[in-house]
Amino acid sequence: MRTRARGLGSLAVSIDGLTELWDRLFGVQPDPPPLLVLFTAALALLVVAARVPWRIARNAITIAHEGGHALVALLTGRKLRGIRLHSDTSGLTLSAGRPTGPGMVFTLLAGYIAPSLIGLAGAWLLSGNRITLLLWIAVALLLAMLVMIRNFFGIVSIVVTTAIVFGVSWFAPPEVQAAFAYTGVWFLLLGGVRPVGELQTLRWRGQQPESDADQLARLTRVPGLFWVGLFGLITVAALGAGAGLLAVPLVDGLTR
């Protein structure tokens, strides 16, 4: 009887633990202060605009860029060979399959727009105050990407990034989680736009003949400038939509 009672007690503890974890993951956090929304937007803009902070933080954009290539390659039936992240903030995703056709086109198209679209999805989650859920989804995606990393610097980058996001999601108080999440999403939205301009500058100088836009031009016979323009249109649209979602607490605070 004691053994059975002990077993039932352990089961109750396990259920309570799972319930607590579920509530923590899918629970709704309080509305952030309006000033936090403004401060995190200004901080992200400063990082994107300043040369030295951008060179460091751009690794996060590269992770999202290469992750976009990898995800779409898998979704279109291509075989993912591996991902490399380099210390100069460049990256490379290798996949096997038909060298032409829609699968290859969508795989190439995904890279430059991935950070902005991920940022837009994050803004949607934040608009519903799902801050912890956003952070845990980020951890899951980073861990999934880690499996396909094929160089040492890439492994270190993913492990460090994952550790930071997980540490904030598990140990930080709600206010810190909110500040971290809002800064990260603002950075993805704003930081997704800058590489498109950098891409066209490098193409104009003839320094990037194998860019995603130029590969798309060879595959589709549509000029590379069109693809750069499409990248820019999507990233700017995502920034506008994401900013509207993130500004909800600010608008609510002003109308009260």
- Specify the pLDDT at position 208: 85
Residue type, 214: D
- Specify the pLDDT at position 30: 77
Residue type, 131: I
Q: Which residues of the chain have pLDDT under 50?
A: none
* Residue 222 per-residue DSSP state: S
H or E, element range at 27:
none
- Specify the pLDDT at position 248: 80
Q: E-strand spans in the chain?
A: 79-85, 91-96
> Whole-angstrom Cα distance, residue 27 to residue 215?
44
- Specify the pLDDT at position 150: 96
Distance between alpha carbon 125 and the CA centroid of its chain, in Å? 13
Q: Is 173 helix (H, G, I), strand (E, B) or coil?
A: coil
> Whole-angstrom Cα distance, residue 203 to residue 78?
28
pTM summary value = 0.90
- Specify the pLDDT at position 57: 95
pLDDT tens-digit readout, 140-196: 999 999 999 999 999 999 999 999 999 999 999 999 999 999 999 999 999 999 999
Q: How far is CA 98 from CA 4, 51, 64, 82, 145, in A?
A: 60, 39, 24, 17, 23
- Specify the pLDDT at position 46: 98
* Residue 50 per-residue DSSP state: S
- Specify the pLDDT at position 12: 52
